[in-house]
Amino acid sequence: MAFFSSGSRVLVEILTRIQSAERPMPVDHTFYEFGSIRYHVEALVSDSENVYLSIATPSLSHGASPSSSSRSRLPELTLQEMKTTYGKFAEIVEPPREGYVLTLKLNFSGLTRPKDRVKAINQVSLLQSVVLSSQLKDMLGSLGSSGTMKLVYSQREPFFVSKTADERIHAIFPMRFRDDTDLAIATCFFQELQELGNSLARAPKCSWSPIPPPELRGEYVHHLTTNGGFVSFGVLSRHVRGKRAAKTAWILLNFQSYVRYHIKCTRSHIQSRMRERLETLTEAIQNARLRGNHDDDKRKSQVVNKSKKRRLISLAKAKSLRKGFRAVLDKMKRLRLRIRVRGLDRLRRQCQCFAVHKLPAPPRSSSGKELRYHRLEQ
């Protein structure tokens, strides 16, 4: 599972800038970070060696809402944890600044090596995870040998911690979603997380069930009404010891936020893939249209060329037919003319013996009508 960084990068940058400054510089900066965390950093020119860091963070509680005492002051076990972790270069200021649960006076002058200062600054950036891990260990210690406890870190996302007789700890998260798409993505994610967690030997056991697990018997119905089921993690004893306790507490307290973050990233990825696919299909359709128009232009040009060729061919055929028809007409005219022998007229003029007598014209009747010849009978 991806791990939200529990260190504050802004806090690291501000403290590094104060330590690396050649001259003392006044700083009065307030900023917010993930998880409703509020920091306030103050440095004075008159007191350049000390930096005052205040933090306001939601604390764990047993009931439906954190009590006013937990908001104004941290438990004694948490304060002892702060002294143990930051005792070399920090002091707890009593009382804390107004509106904050803890104020530390940081002094890095005792750390001569730059490497030690960088390590101390990175350790200070993990202040919230240290506070939450100490609170979680305190509540697990008060749980006894067995039992179930409801913890509230965010008002909308409570979860349960159960401890069995064999000292196994289970963190149970009721999952609720408003959107059906988010519910479908989360269900697939929980199933894959269950298969992956059970396939690794050293990983904590993970289980997902649409119904409440047996550890939550006896809880109120409205606490167990969900549409995304229940996700359970097995927390081993080595996970809540030493330096691992802070990381374990941070993961458990931000698991539900991580699930929503994963769902948003998955939806964004799906939508980006859909947009890329849509752009690809649109480009293919446009290219097809351009090719179709180009092909149509080619076809039109081919049809025009063919029509021109046909016209030329038809004109050539018409010309050839006209020539042939004229030749036939000339031949017919020649056949209708009299046969003329060259030199016959000259010979006729020289020799009177070849005189040709003209035939008399046929007689006409008195009435002016032409006579008709009748075929004689044999």
In a domain, 35, yes or no: yes
Domain limits for position 226: 145-292
With 0-12 CB in 10 A as exposed, 13-18 as middle and 19+ as buried, what is 43? Answer: buried
- Domain co-membership, 270 together with 184: yes
Last residue of a domain, one of 142, 167, 193: 142
- Domain co-membership, 159 together with 118: no
Question: pTM of the predicted model, to two decimals?
Answer: 0.62
- Domain co-membership, 192 together with 125: no
User: One digit per residue, pLDDT tens: the chain, 378 residues?
Assistant: 444 667 788 888 988 888 888 888 888 989 888 767 889 999 888 888 888 999 888 767 665 444 444 445 677 778 888 888 888 888 888 888 888 888 899 888 888 888 888 888 888 888 888 887 777 777 776 666 667 888 877 666 788 888 777 767 888 899 988 888 889 999 998 888 888 877 777 777 888 888 888 888 878 888 788 888 899 888 877 777 777 777 787 788 888 888 888 899 999 999 999 999 998 888 888 888 776 666 666 666 665 666 656 665 666 666 676 777 677 777 766 665 555 556 656 666 666 554 555 545 555 555 555 545 455 554
- Domain co-membership, 71 together with 170: no
pLDDT of residue 360: 55
Q: In what order do the strands lie in the sheet with 27-33?
A: 27-33, 37-43, 50-56, 102-107, 90-92
pLDDT of residue 158: 81
In a domain, 160, yes or no: yes
- Domain co-membership, 159 together with 274: yes
In a domain, 226, yes or no: yes
What CATH number does the domain containing 238 carry? 3.30.1460.20
pLDDT of residue 292: 62
Question: Which stretches within 87-179 are classed as H helix?
Answer: 114-124, 127-142
In a domain, 241, yes or no: yes
- Domain co-membership, 109 together with 29: yes
In a domain, 150, yes or no: yes
Q: Return the DSSP state at 175.
A: -
Instruction: Kindly state the tokens that stand for 180.
Output: 């059906």
Q: How many CA atoms lie within 13 A of 140 on its CB side?
A: 23
Instruction: Kindly state the tokens that stand for 114.
Output: 């730059």
Last residue of a domain, one of 244, 259, 292: 292
- Domain co-membership, 129 together with 149: no
The domain total for the chain is 2
In a domain, 120, yes or no: yes
Phi and psi dihedrals of 227, rounded to 5?
-115, -5
- Domain co-membership, 125 together with 171: no
- Domain co-membership, 132 together with 239: no
- Domain co-membership, 138 together with 153: no
CA distance 36 to 13: 20
In a domain, 335, yes or no: no
In a domain, 221, yes or no: yes
- Domain co-membership, 267 together with 208: yes
Last residue of a domain, one of 292, 323, 340: 292
Q: Of 260, 270, 271, which is closest to residue 182 (Cα–Cα)?
A: 260
> DSSP characters for 41-82?
EEE-STTTTEEEEEEE-PPPBSSSS--HHHHHS--HHHHHHH
- Domain co-membership, 124 together with 151: no
CA distance 293 to 297: 6
